A and B are shown apart, each in its own frame.
Chain A
Amino acid sequence: MTLQTSVATAETFVPPRARSAVAGRVLLYVLLVAFALLFFTPFVWSISTSFKTLPDSAFFNLIPDPFTTEAWRSVWNDYDFKRYALNSLFLAVVVTLLNLFLASLGGYAFARLRFPGREVLFVLILGTLMIPDQLRLIPVFVMLTNWHLIGNFTGYILINLVTAVNLFFMRQYFLTIPRDFEEAAKLDGAGYFKTFWRVMLPLAGPAIAALAILQFQGTWNDFFWPLILFGQGSEHLYTMQLGLAQLTLTYQTLWPQLMAGSLIAIAPILLIFLVFQRFFVSGVTAAGIKG
């Protein structure tokens, strides 16, 4: 009775709007914690398992008992993840550098230089965005087979030399740079390439950084094309994703090794993401505009 009265009194003193606001905030925090659990548990669990022994991985203790780095060591050495990492690193660096150069070169031309047919060519490039990889799969595979470019890195690099998204991205950025800089360079007698290389490219720093990060991520994470081009028996060319997929398909229950391998495949990109987050966000929004 007393209790009820006091509650009733308290209620009359709190404006309804504020009370619902408090309830709303509590609900939001509950949701946030629930989502955090949903998003963190898989990673926490895989990290824990990667430090377990195989028998221990059958149990549900969060703290490994005994704690061992054996799975990491064996994945890296015995299951060839060292090679996968080097292959992926090589491809990602080469493809990223080529994309940086060709996308900014082409993007600059489409943004600034006037030449007959420019608009037609640009529309053509935008049109290629509509051609899905899945349609290109067979013709590209047949072409590369005929040219003996299956089972080596050249074929992969060739088809990834430059993407339409990257070129479009660079063009849009160059359009935002005031013309004054180029005119100053022209007055100094700089040629077209020198103007591009010495003046415009340094000014495009933020776009270059975003493109580099996103392209590196894309190539490192790529599974489809490595599977098509190297999956037919070129084990020495396996990339990180292909090697991990192979491990997953072959050793379905070797959980500590599988988790260590997955974490190795995730680690470099996670690290880059944590350091350069804002580029990811700006890149996604830019890619969205094109969509």
Chain B
Amino acid sequence: MTSATEAVPAPGRGSFFGMRVREAGWGYAFVLVPMAVFGLFFIYPLVYGIYISFFEWGILGKAPGATAGLQNYDTLYHDQVFHRAMRNTFEYALLVVPLEMALGLVLALVINARLRGRAFFRSAFYVPSVVSSVAITTIAIYILNPDGLLNKIIGSDQAWFGDADTALYSVVGLNAWTTAGTVMLFYLAALQSIPTDVYEAAAVDGTSRWRTFWRITFPLLKPAHFFVLVVFGIGALKVFDQFYLVSQGTGGPEYSTLSAVFYIYQEAFKSANFGVGASAGVVLFVAIFLLTLFQRATVGRSEIG
């Protein structure tokens, strides 16, 4: 490249090579601030977080005389509360993701059926996904409180968020309800990309709707299934807001609403164990990273729009 440029006799001002240099200079200038932000607040914290995880680290920084080691990871390994938080997080994800997918898919199928008012309902189902999670959770706390509307309707006096047996499942229900609208949009896009002649062929064969769905539509949605599974699975592993609010910032009762991120938050801001919190962050990151690799291996090849 350089030799080719040099071979061209310099045609004075604004030469080809000069333009290249000028263009590169402007290119660097344009990306300077964004790169500084990504470097300083993403890449450096990644390294710094791993570094902190190897030390005893308190509110005043690295503990005096602290030596690098795996003691924080050892603490995590033996900490029942951390185990509980990880178990809660994975149990939550394993429950909420299939529920979101099922609900989102049914919503998409209903909307896709060209009923009257479909545009209106599509928006209505999507509203809980766009508005604030804190407000949605507050409304849920109101409706699910022991004297609330839900109990009135079903005739019970269950403290849905206040009982260790139901708190996690109540958040699962809440978040499946909230997120279903987003999942619906992905399924709608996928449904609309299925060519209609596939269905026409099925109709000619006299295949029932039910069979058409399970034999044709559902398998054709496979890329969408995988996509939603991975994206919303990763999202579910980061759950925090709802658990924080329904337990009034405690993770209780009996650690039943303590998620992994919530554990990190508590270690840092309640116990000032930054080192332990950082190592929990690394463990969670590795879990999410492995899921992402799984995504690349499975869906990475078949792209969906």
Contacts and interface: CB of A to CB of B under 8 A. Distances in A.
Ranked nearest first, the 3 interchain pairs of A and B with the lowest CB-CB distance are A115-B27, A109-B30, A113-B27
Query: Which of B37, B61, B264, B268 is most buried by chain A, counting CB atoms within 10 A of its CB?
Result: B37
Nearest to B281: A135
A205 B288 CA distance: 35
A40 B120 CA distance: 12
13 contacts: A20-B209, A28-B115, A31-B110, A36-B124, A39-B124, A60-B149, A109-B31, A115-B24, A134-B240, A167-B34, A220-B132, A265-B131, A285-B189
B131 A221 contact: yes
User: What's the dominant secondary structure at chain B's contact region?
Assistant: helix
Contact of A232 (B115, B127, B269): B269
B115 A29 contact: yes
A64 interface: no
Given A158-B37, A266-B135, 20 more contacts: A60-B152, A106-B30, A113-B24, A113-B26, A113-B27, A121-B35, A128-B43, A130-B292, A131-B45, A131-B285, A134-B261, A138-B49, A140-B45, A143-B45, A143-B48, A192-B23, A221-B133, A228-B265, A262-B132, A266-B132
Given A60-B149, A223-B241, A137 B123 contact: no
Contact of A102 (B33, B141, B149, B248): B33
B206 A162 contact: no
A248 B177 CA distance: 21
Contact of A114 (B20, B106, B230): B20
Contacts of A127: 43
Nearest to B247: A249
A32 B110 contact: yes
Contacts of A105: 30-31, 33-34
Contacts of A203: none
A259 B61 contact: no
Nearest to A122: B31
Centre residue among B41, B240, B264 by max chain A CB count within 10 A? B41
Interface in A223-278: 223-224, 227-228, 231-232, 240-241, 244-245, 248-249, 252, 255, 258-259, 261-263, 265-266, 269-270, 273-274, 277
